[in-house]
């Protein structure tokens, strides 16, 4: 990975960056030097819940946003995500003590975006933002969902001892779908089906189909409220997320073992059952190139099932 003007050999602080892209960046980066990557911002707009800052004067061209309308549009996406998420959860995303709004900055990054640490701004990749308008909505919801995770105590009150990206990134990917019916990368929807050997707990943001299954988004009556119960349970269990998840599954669906078994079966065939009886949220999920990923997976599973039948 490449950081401009960074001396990566000087280990001072450990900085973990949570990304909405394929790879998570982590490394020992001196904070004082990391700040050198952030340009100064001569432009700012404020909305009800956000303060967005950007530049069009950076000597590093990729930092620049030369169309203020792009920032205004992004502010609208963030406010929409705030409204939909806080309405479902009954709780607002995390705003650091001493602030009344979430800061959002645009500059050149090595991934689409990140929102870590909790008290830091949401950082959006200005280069990608200008080149790929189709990821703006989904990325806005994804990063804001990390702020909602912080509001439930993740990293603000408890730090799980082991990586839980299947949970934190997987549920942030679910938020992309819940808010916009879109994902930033096709693989978040595809990989669990095309490679049924991927372990859920290793899947990171490609765990998304599990979270759709968890809220019954693939069946007649989605139960998005279960996501709220899950985060409330996480808070109760001090972010022992597996314990929280198994409790919610048991209360909602019965045996956790049989729930995971049914998910494994659904990954192989018929994940989406009755095409006429689904919630509109989960009926069509678009990738960044506007591919209908629900239709693609239905067709993929249909072909695989009929190929397996022909062999029998």
Nearer to Zn ion, 52 or 115 (CB): 115
What residues have CB less than 8 Å from 197, skipping those under 6 apart? none
Question: Among 74, 54, 273, which residue's Cα sits nearest to residue 180?
Answer: 74
Nearer to Zn ion, 139 or 301 (CB): 139
Nearer to Zn ion, 138 or 301 (CB): 138
Instruction: Give the interface segment with Zn ion, choosing from 17-25, 97-105, 222-230, 278-286 (CB under 5 A).
Output: 17-25
Nearer to Zn ion, 46 or 202 (CB): 202
End-to-end CA distance of the chain: 48
Nearer to Zn ion, 116 or 190 (CB): 116
Q: In 152-268, which residue ranges form alpha helices assigned H by DSSP?
A: 165-180, 187-194, 208-214, 225-236, 241-253, 256-268
Site string for Zn ion, 165-184 (x = CB under 5 A): ----x--x------------
Question: Among 144, 22, 155, 166, which residue's Cα sits nearest to residue 92?
Answer: 144
Instruction: Give the interface segment with Zn ion, choosing from 30-38, 117-125, 163-171, 193-201 (CB under 5 A).
Output: 163-171
DSSP state at residue 22: S
Binders of Zn ion: how many residues, by CB under 5 A?
A: 4
Instruction: Give the interface segment with Zn ion, choosing from 20-28, 233-241, 259-267, 284-292 (CB under 5 A).
Output: 20-28
Which residue matches tokens 């432009």?
Answer: 43
Does position 18 interact with Zn ion (CB under 5 A)? The reply is: yes
Instruction: Give the interface segment with Zn ion, choosing from 14-22, 128-136, 153-161, 270-278 (CB under 5 A).
Output: 14-22
Question: Among 34, 206, 18, 205, which residue's Cα sits nearest to residue 113?
Answer: 18
**How many alpha carbons lie under 13 Å from residue 123 in its C-beta half-sphere?**
23
**Residue ranges in contact with Zn ion by CB under 5 A:** 18, 20, 169, 172
């Amino acid at each position: 990975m490449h950081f401009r003007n960074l001396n990566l050999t000087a280990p001072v602080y450990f900085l973990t960056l949570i990304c909405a892209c394929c790879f998570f960046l982590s490394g020992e980066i001196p904070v004082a030097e990391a700040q050198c990557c952030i340009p100064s911002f001569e432009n700012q707009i404020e909305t009800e819940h956000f303060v967005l800052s950007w530049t069009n004067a950076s000597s590093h061209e990729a930092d620049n946003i030369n169309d203020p309308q792009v920032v205004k549009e992004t502010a609208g996406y963030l406010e929409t995500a705030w409204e939909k998420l806080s309405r479902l959860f009954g709780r607002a995303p995390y705003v650091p003590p001493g602030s009344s709004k979430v800061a959002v900055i645009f500059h050149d990054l090595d991934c689409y975006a990140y929102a870590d640490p909790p008290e830091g701004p949401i950082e959006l990749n200005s280069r990608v933002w200008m080149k790929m308008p189709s990821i703006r909505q989904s990325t806005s919801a994804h990063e804001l969902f990390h702020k909602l995770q912080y509001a439930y105590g993740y990293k603000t009150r408890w730090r799980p001892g082991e990586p839980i990206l299947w949970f934190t990134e997987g549920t942030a990917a679910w938020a992309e779908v819940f808010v916009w019916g879109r994902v930033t990368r096709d693989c978040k929807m595809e990989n669990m089906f095309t490679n049924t050997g991927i372990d859920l707990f290793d899947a990171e943001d490609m765990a998304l189909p599990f979270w759709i299954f968890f809220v019954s988004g693939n069946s007649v009556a989605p139960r998005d409220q279960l996501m709220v119960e899950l985060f409330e349970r996480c808070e109760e269990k001090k972010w022992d997320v597996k314990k929280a998840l198994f409790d919610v599954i048991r209360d909602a669906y019965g045996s956790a073992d049989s729930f995971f078994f049914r998910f494994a079966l659904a990954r192989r065939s018929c994940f989406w059952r009755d095409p006429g009886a689904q919630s509109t949220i989960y009926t069509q999920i678009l990738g960044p190139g506007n591919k209908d990923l629900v239709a693609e997976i239905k067709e993929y599973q249909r072909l695989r099932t009929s190929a397996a039948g022909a062999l029998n």
